[in-house]
Amino acid sequence: MSQGIGILGFQGDVSEHIGIIKTIARKHKKNIPVTEIRKKDQLDNVSGLIIPGGESTTMYKLLNLYGIYDEVISRAMDGFPVMGTCAGLIVISKETNDSRVKGMNLIDTTIERNAYGRQIDSFIHEINISGIGEYKAVFIRAPVISDAGSSEILAVYNNKPVMVRKGNILGMTFHPELTNDLRVHEYFLDIVGGEG
């Protein structure tokens, strides 16, 4: 991984994702620079991008305002790895079911927003992730993947996909940055490094 990882820095759990990448770098004694992405040209300096949870309508507006939306699509089509968590998954999906947010169509998923309820309905549940194993997943106002299309389903909860992958694109409805478990981020770093 030559240039490190970008975290879309407009809102959401930005510092938590940065903290996990830094922890992984220390654990593996590797130099993995992390950049908060707020401008299009910053994407030149990273080898992969994490789009965190947050508020998908706000994120969508800011992605377009700063010219990052189309740039991410263009790069992802050329193999640039992207990981979307919760609202980030909504943004990269094919169908958001929200007229305010046009999905990037980077991964063939159809989304139902906030399908598990409000913030008070957030929960932690153990899931089994293909290639990772048992994992305590944190769901906060999580969207539901109602249709995974041609995506590879890596984990399910309640008979619904909660983690999907299509080549260089990885998406999940839960928040891996809110646990001390590094394995989902390590899995993404393997994709970035061409090992996944």
- The residues annotated with a catalytic role in the active site are 86, 175, 177
Q: Cα(133)–Cα(186) distance, rounded to whole angstroms?
A: 13
Position 9, amino acid:
G
As given in the structure block, the two tokens for residue 143 are: 């969207």
**Which one-letter amino acid corresponds to residue 127?**
I
Helices 183-192 and 14-27, interaxial angle, to 10°? 80
Q: Pull the structure tokens for residue 117.
A: 């309820």
Q: Residues 154-161: contacts with CB within 8 Å, 24+ apart?
A: 154/129, 154/130, 155/127, 155/128, 155/129, 155/130, 156/127, 157/125, 157/127, 161/109
